[in-house]
Homo-oligomer: A and B are copies of this chain.
Amino acid sequence: MNAVLPERAAALLDEVRQRRPRVHCLMNGVVPKFVADGLSALGAIPSMTSSPEEVGHFVAKADALLVNLGTLDARRREAIGIAVGVAAERGRPWALDPAHCDYSPPRAAFAQELLARGPAVLRANAAEYDLLSVPAGVVAVRTGKQDRIAQNGAAFSVTNGHPLAAMVTGTGCLSGAVIAVFLAIEADPFIAASAAMVVFGIAAEMAGETATGPGSFEPALLDALANLGGAHILQFAKADHEQD
């Protein structure tokens, strides 16, 4: 698939811009605007409420869902439970980001519970990933210098990206939301997640070319997500089947 993925990713990106999928994000309280801006830049339509009273209405209107566990509390847990239930009822795909679950045992336990409820994709960094047991069938995305997308024994590695991304709070959270965007338009979550990581990594590289530090990297990343086209993907994608 490595020869094919860039073409698929380029075609999916075009489709995002044409169909403008709605993605509801149960986002932490730290980076909601950054994540919403990133999705808008890419061409999707984000919504962000985490209140239990309203989240069901928002998920019912969405094409895909992201569940991020940052700044978790009792009300967010309740809202997440409702949101995942509505997504299941309506057959909407969702991605799970167990942000910082390595800091908090109750959060790690909640992430494990949610994995049993059938997310299409798990996105986690290495420290988070190592704590969790991923059920068969769930696409597991481990992000880092090299991103690894794995499902049922097949795996892809993506080496696009830029070191400044690690200095900007919320780039990992945004990459999870970008996965949800691609889930909204691509039925195969392995393809969707792989395409998302390629697109996000190339946008980071484009941003890194003009940024003079983490502060200027952030607006440059949003600009790159908006300005990135299929031609950039075909030229710059670095994705390979992993050799085990």
A-side residues, CB < 8 A to B, are 29-34, 36-37, 40-41, 46-54, 57-58, 61, 70-75, 100, 103-107, 167-170, 212-216, 218-227
Contacts and interface: CB of A to CB of B under 8 A. Distances in A.
A29 B25 CA distance: 13
Given A29-B29, A53-B73, A221 B226 contact: no
A112 B225 CA distance: 38
A40 B223 contact: no
Given A41-B215, A52-B73, A53-B72, 7 more contacts: A30-B48, A37-B215, A41-B167, A215-B219, A215-B221, A215-B222, A215-B224
Nearest to A54: B104
A41 B164 CA distance: 10
B71 A51 contact: yes
Contacts of A31: 32-33
B214 A223 contact: yes
B29 A213 contact: no
Contacts of A105: 57
Contacts of A226: 167, 213-215
A72 B54 contact: yes
A212 B220 CA distance: 9
